[in-house]
């Protein structure tokens, strides 16, 4: 790889396009810092998020839904390469096995640390749980603020977006669905 193909050189070029000078003292080390921060923000490309769900434990109590709320995440919207961030609320109804609490956070981060859109993030989290954990239903809600909406164009600082996807008992059983919806953190919290 020549210097002109390096990610650092590309970042220096972006600085030039913005209208600044990448060689001025304050910006000299910025390309290195941007590249290393992107390694962290986009670590999801080297992750197989579903694998985090493979370690499972036997269910001791039958017929009891599990709710894991307020998992914080940071992601980057693929339309503007600007951050969007918020929380994920997960519900599942175990059939035989349950998953350790921290694994859901790893799952969320594995999908969030990529160029992403909120709708797809919601579906990917749902599908991974549905595929890897034997259960009678899965519900996922994602609430996020999008920097591209906060700071550009209409500049609506309070607006946030909510996406929800549910299947199994959380979609078809009215009692379970109501139970799930009722225990979700309120939108203004």
- In the complex, the residues that contact Zn ion under the rule CB under 5 A are 77, 79-80, 148
> Which is catalytic among the residues 52, 132, 146, 160?
146
C-alpha–C-alpha distance, residues 163 and 141, integer Å: 6
Collapsing DSSP states into helix, strand and coil, what is residue 70?
strand
Give catalytic status of residue 132 as yes or no: no
Smallest gap from residue 178 Cβ to Zn ion (A)? 33
| Choice between 77 and 129, CB closer to Zn ion | 77
Give catalytic status of residue 119 as yes or no: no
Give catalytic status of residue 5 as yes or no: no
CA atoms within 13 A on the CB side of 44: 22
Give catalytic status of residue 109 as yes or no: no
Smallest gap from residue 119 Cβ to Zn ion (A)? 12
CA nearest 149: which of 98, 82, 65?
82
> Which is catalytic among the residues 52, 77, 126, 132?
77
Query: Cβ–Cβ contacts within 10 Å for residue 57, how many?
Result: 10
> Which is catalytic among the residues 116, 118, 160, 169?
118
| Choice between 78 and 131, CB closer to Zn ion | 78
Give catalytic status of residue 118 as yes or no: yes
Q: Which residue has tokens 């810092």?
A: 33
Smallest gap from residue 148 Cβ to Zn ion (A)? 3
| Choice between 148 and 181, CB closer to Zn ion | 148
> Which is catalytic among the residues 56, 148, 171, 179?
148
Burial code of 115-152, b = ≥16 C-beta within 10 A, e = fewer?
A: ebebeebbbbbbbbbbebbebbbbbbbbbbbbbebbee
Smallest gap from residue 128 Cβ to Zn ion (A)? 24
Where do runs of H (alpha helix) occur along the chain? 7-18, 30-41, 101-112, 118-132, 147-150, 169-172, 174-183
| Choice between 14 and 82, CB closer to Zn ion | 82
Give the residue numbers annotated as catalytic, written as ranges: 77-80, 118, 146, 148
């Amino acid at each position: 790889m020549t210097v002109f193909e390096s990610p650092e050189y590309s970042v220096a070029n972006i600085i030039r396009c913005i209208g600044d000078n990448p060689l001025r003292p304050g910006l000299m080390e910025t390309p290195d810092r941007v590249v290393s921060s992107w390694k962290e923000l986009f670590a999801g490309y080297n992750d197989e998020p579903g694998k985090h769900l493979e370690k499972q434990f036997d269910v001791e109590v039958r017929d009891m839904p599990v709710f894991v709320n307020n998992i914080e995440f940071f992601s980057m919207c693929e339309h503007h390469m600007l951050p969007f961030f918020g929380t994920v609320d997960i519900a599942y109804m175990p059939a035989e096995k349950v998953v350790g609490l921290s694994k859901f956070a790893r799952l969320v981060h594995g999908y969030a640390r990529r160029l992403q859109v909120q709708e797809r993030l919601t579906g990917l989290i749902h599908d991974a749980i549905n595929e890897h954990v034997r259960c009678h239903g899965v519900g996922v809600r994602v609430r996020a603020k999008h920097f591209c909406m906060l700071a550009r164009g209409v500049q609506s600082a309070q607006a946030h977006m909510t996406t929800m996807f549910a299947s199994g008992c959380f979609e078809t059983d009215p009692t379970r669905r109501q139970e799930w919806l009722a225990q979700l953190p309120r939108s203004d919290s």
